Structure 1
Amino acid sequence: MSKNIIIIGGGIIGLSSAYYLQKEGHQVTVVDKSNFSSGASYVNAGYITPSHIISLAAPGMINKGIKWMFDAASPFYVKPRLDIDFLKWAWAFKKSSTAAKVEKAIPVIKDINLYSRDLYEEIKASNDFDFHYERKGLLMCYKTDKVGEEEWEVGQRGIKEGLGVKNLSAKEVEKIEPNANLDIKGAVYFDSDAHMTPSDFMSQMVTYLKSKGVTFYANEKVEDIEITSGTISKIITDKQELNADEVVLAAGSWSPLMTKKLGLKIPIQAGKGYRINVERTTNITIPAILCEAKVAVTPMDGFTRFAGTMEVAGINHNINPVRVNAIANAAKNYYTGLEISESEKSNAECGLRPCTPDGLPYIGKSSKCKNLTIATGHAMMGWSLGPATGKLVAEVISDQKTSLDLTPFHPDRTF
């Protein structure tokens, strides 16, 4: 049965949900406070990452976070602040950072990433789009033996999960990436990963959805949500009032602002990431993560993107030049002769990634609201998990059996 559906949020999760919902015959409206051309979905590294099987809430991250708290250039920076929501999230993060919980999450993270990659390739093969998509794998590049051992340990765990992984020496890396001038000891190579140019996909998806009758309300902020007997009865924006049979919350880092209005608690903290675009020849052809610096490098359509850092400091889009410089310095340290210019650094942008305490997104219905489906909290895997999340959302709303077990992603789970 066709339903009238409002999606709050027009990033990769919102658009992917709209894509699969309209395919099921539903009437879809997407509302976003931006103009569908900015945000985390446009400034991310563009990775599809089955390789990223270890959740953000890994053992040792709390200690690293405390150590790096006083270094604004560190890869993972947590701004100390007396905020009750942040403190509750930090405590839940600490409780989630155990070896047992990380181990339990590994197959869950792997399966949804592989499923999402298959869906991207299915969308690409539909001939409705002409976006950039390449599957060249991912190099986890390291400069020290210690980090190399840590990365190979993850690689071996990936092999157990059925992923194709190799531990390459510097000379072996040079054979597959001969002109990039990498200055490294070696790299763990995952052949499972793919990469894209996010802005290409997003603009084409908006155009496609409009052609299929999806309604878009840009630059429109949701100010209130009315709920009656456990059901959302009205969405109130700064411009109008909207009614719907079903509501999808895909507002990323802003999602808790919406759920608070409904009396729901879904712990999320915004993790700011930065990107620098280099629009000149770099001779980089294979995506890489510069492990010690936690910087991602992606050869995109016409430029190379350097992205990274995780800054948990609340919702803001302030550009910290110290963190931008850290990314630029990492590029120079790993790629001999590559110097990111001041003008390139001055054009850096940032995006906010919604981070849950256990590193798994929220996907599904809360028992506290009958017609709300939550799809948020994807942290650094938002781009990778877009189509899978959208497909699962459509299955939930269409009362179909879901392609994956949603229990690990339940919005009501405790930490």
Structure 2
Amino acid sequence: MGSAVGGAPSTAVVVGAGVVGLSTAWFLQEHGVDVTVVDRSGVAAGASWGNAGYVAPAFSVPLPEPAVLRYGLRSLFDPNAPLYVPRTVDPGLWAFLAGFARNCTHRTWQRSMRSLAGLNEDCLDAFDELAKDGVGAPTKTAPVMAAFEKPEQARELREEFERARRSGQETWFADAAASEVPQLSSLVSTVLRIEDQRYIDPGEFTRALAEAVEGRGGRIHTGFTVRDVVRDGGRLLVKSTQNDYVSADSVVLATGAWLPELAVKTGVKRQVRAGRGYSFTLPVSEPVPGPIYLPAVRVACTPYQGGLRVAGTMEFRAPDAALDGRRIEAIVQSARPFLRGVDWDGRHDEWVGPRPVTADGLPLIGASKMPGVHIAGGHGMWGLTLGPITGRLLSEQIVTGERPAALRPFDPLR
């Protein structure tokens, strides 16, 4: 399984114009494949535009873990909590959350971390390859500064880094002074500097990636809502709700939180749920030196277009549900005590985007049961960090028919 029937594909359709889909398209072009990208809305219209912009392998870890389970049970229905599940009758969601809870063990986390460490090791190299060969939006290197009110609160993050080290991922960090970051308030007593991380403007980066794909001869069709993928002889037809279609030798489904709508038809049974994240931008009185992380309230902040992008929350709700202003206010109230020199009244660019979460915390990357159709999704909060390396490895599998060793744990049919 892995390549188009009859050998390596000469043409491919990628469904989804987020960073994962566009990265896969770009790397397929590296192998000489003629690529068409289709998307129901537009480039970076899903989770790729408004996220925190962290390109941070140190934080690319499995979401299910005992601490998350303990925290989640305490705050399950609290609309002001970083993790929020609305009171609803949705058997599918409750089945998903039960599966998520079963994976919140130290043993499972350690095994999953070993799998992710292989992707994290090469993820920055994949960004460098894109930049070297024409993707114009730069990544910026800076430490992530994790800020805490009390010294003992840093213990959990230190222990997480130590567990990741035992799984093969080395993270360099050190104590730092709060004065190194003008935006940290006097409430902050302890800061950890996590070295060798990066950040980007995610919308700018995804648009630059789309321009690079088109500049190499690829086509991007927006307003193309896919309703089905079917075989027609030796070809695959990607059919839209408007009764248009695109044909190719190979198809990649990279539709984020909407992945189940098509993937289930290709034999993929793993659930993917929308863990929606919110963000907004604040004017600042001084330049922001780099990313700021507030672990106690699960809020990530990043320099963004001369201001500060503030992102947080994990809300399990339908991917297309409207923005809930209460979630924005909850982020404001939780982050406000830790930050200074920001204009809360000047808040703008309020956004919500659905991040595709799996119950075991691992993405789905690889071949489906339908010959020639591949899956790329379920990256949770780390689709930006892992998008380019996903595209590089999956394109190799599609073209050669051989699954790279690093992708074995992410088999969509597991």
Give yes or no for TM over 0.5. yes
Distance between the aligned counterparts of 2:165 and 2:343, measured in 1? 36
Deviation digits for residues 38-88 of structure 1 (CA, Å, limit 9, x no counterpart): 221011111112212531111143342232122101001122433232233
| Among candidates 239, 246, 259, match of residue 236 of structure 1 | 239
Q: Deviations over 1:217-264 (max 9, x none)?
A: 1011012222579x8742210331222211101000001011233453
Residue 320, structure 1, aligned to residue 324, structure 2: yes
Contact in 1 for aligned 2:174/2:194 (Cα 8 Å): no
**Match for residue 407 of structure 2?**
406
Matched, 1:192 2:196: yes
Q: SS of 1:307's equivalent?
A: strand
- Partner amino acid for 1:393? L
Q: C-alpha distance in 1, partners of 2:171/2:100?
A: 30
Which of 201-210 and 243-252 deviates more?
A: 201-210
Is contact 1:259-1:266 (8 Å) kept? no
Distance in 2 (CA, whole Å) between partners of 1:371 and 1:207 is 26
Deviation, 1:337, is 4.3
Range that drifts further, 41-50 or 75-84: 75-84
Say what the alpha-carbon RMSD is for the aligned residues: 2.2
Q: Is 2:256 aligned against 1:255?
A: no
Contact preservation (8 Å) 1:65, 1:78 = no
Rounded Cα–Cα distance in structure 1 between residues aligned with 2:115 and 2:76? 30
In structure 2, what is the Cα distance between the partners aligned to 1:173 and 1:38? 38
The alignment status of 1:77 with 2:84, answered yes or no, reads: yes
Q: Deviations for 1:97-153, whole angstroms, at most 9, x for unmatched residues? A: 111010112232233123111111232233x23313111121221113442211121
Alignment-derived partner of residue 385 in structure 2: 384
Is 1:6 aligned to 2:13, yes or no?
yes
In 2, are the aligned partners of 1:355 and 1:379 still within 8 Å (CA)?
yes
For residues 270-313 of structure 1, give each alpha carbon's deviation from its aligned partner in whole angstroms, at most 9, with x where no partner exists.
01101111244443212111111100000134332101100012
2:185, 2:339 within 8 Å by CA — same for their partners in 1?
Answer: yes
Residues 120, 301 of structure 1: alpha-carbon distance in 2 compared, 3 angstrom cutoff: farther
Shift of 1:408: 1.0
Partner AA of 1:300 in structure 2: Y
**Letter paired with 1:237:** S
- Is it true that 1:136 corresponds to 2:142 in the alignment? yes
Deviation at 1:318, TM superposition (A): 1.5
Say if 1:123 and 1:54 are closer, same or farther in 2 by CA, change over 3 A. closer
Give the residue type in structure 1 aligned to 2:241. Answer: D
2:47: which partner in 1? Answer: 40
CA change 1:270–1:140 in 2 (3 A) is same
Distance 1:109 1:224 in 2: 31
Are the structure 2 counterparts of residues 114 and 150 from structure 1 closer, same or farther at C-alpha, using a change threshold of 3 Å? same
Residues of 2 paired with 1:232 and 1:21: CA distance? 18
- In structure 2, the partner of 1:50 is 57
Structure 1 vs Structure 2: percent identity of aligned residues? 27
Deviations 1:306-326 (A, max 9, x none): 011000122234222221012
Letter in 1 for 2:123: S
> Which residue does the alignment assign to 1:276?
280
Deviations 1:137-187 (A, max 9, x none): 21221113442211121233355545343342xxx3235335654631212
Q: Is residue 269 of structure 2 the alignment partner of residue 265 of structure 1?
A: yes
Moved more, 302-311 or 10-19: 302-311
CA contact (8 A) 1:271 1:379 kept: yes
Q: Does the 8 A contact of 1:392 with 1:404 survive in 2?
A: no
| Distance (whole Å) between structure 2 residues aligned to residue 14 and residue 301 of structure 1 | 25
Cα distance between partner residues in 2 of 1:185 and 1:80: 37
Secondary structure, counterpart of 1:41 in structure 2: coil
Give the 3-state SS of the residue equivalent to 1:348 in structure 2.
Answer: strand
Structure 1 equivalent of residue 361 of structure 2:
359
Separation in structure 2 between the aligned mates of residue 301 and residue 271 of structure 1, nearest angstrom:
26
Task: Give the alignment of 1:370-381 within 5 angstroms.
Answer: 370-381=371-382
Q: Do the aligned residues in 1 keep the contact of 2:277 with 2:313 (CA within 8 Å)?
A: yes
Map of 1:88 onto structure 2? 95
Distance 1:175 1:162, change over 3 A: farther
Q: Which blocks of at least 5 consecutive residues in structure 2 are unaligned?
A: 1-7
CA offset digits 1:370-398 (Å, max 9, x no partner): 21110000010000001001001110111
Q: How has the CA–CA distance of structure 1 residues 312 and 60 changed in structure 2, closer, same or farther, with 3 Å as cutoff?
A: same
What does residue 215 of structure 1 align with?
A: 219
1:395–1:175 CA distance, 2 compared to 1 (3 A): same
Instruction: Out of 349-358 and 137-146, give the one that drifted further.
Output: 137-146
| TM-score, structure 1 normalization | 0.91
Residue 177 of structure 2 aligns to a residue whose secondary structure is helix
C-alpha contact 1:46 1:196 (8 A) present in aligned 2? yes
Q: Distance in 1 between matches of 2:120 and 2:247?
A: 34
- The one-letter code matched in structure 1 to 2:307 is F
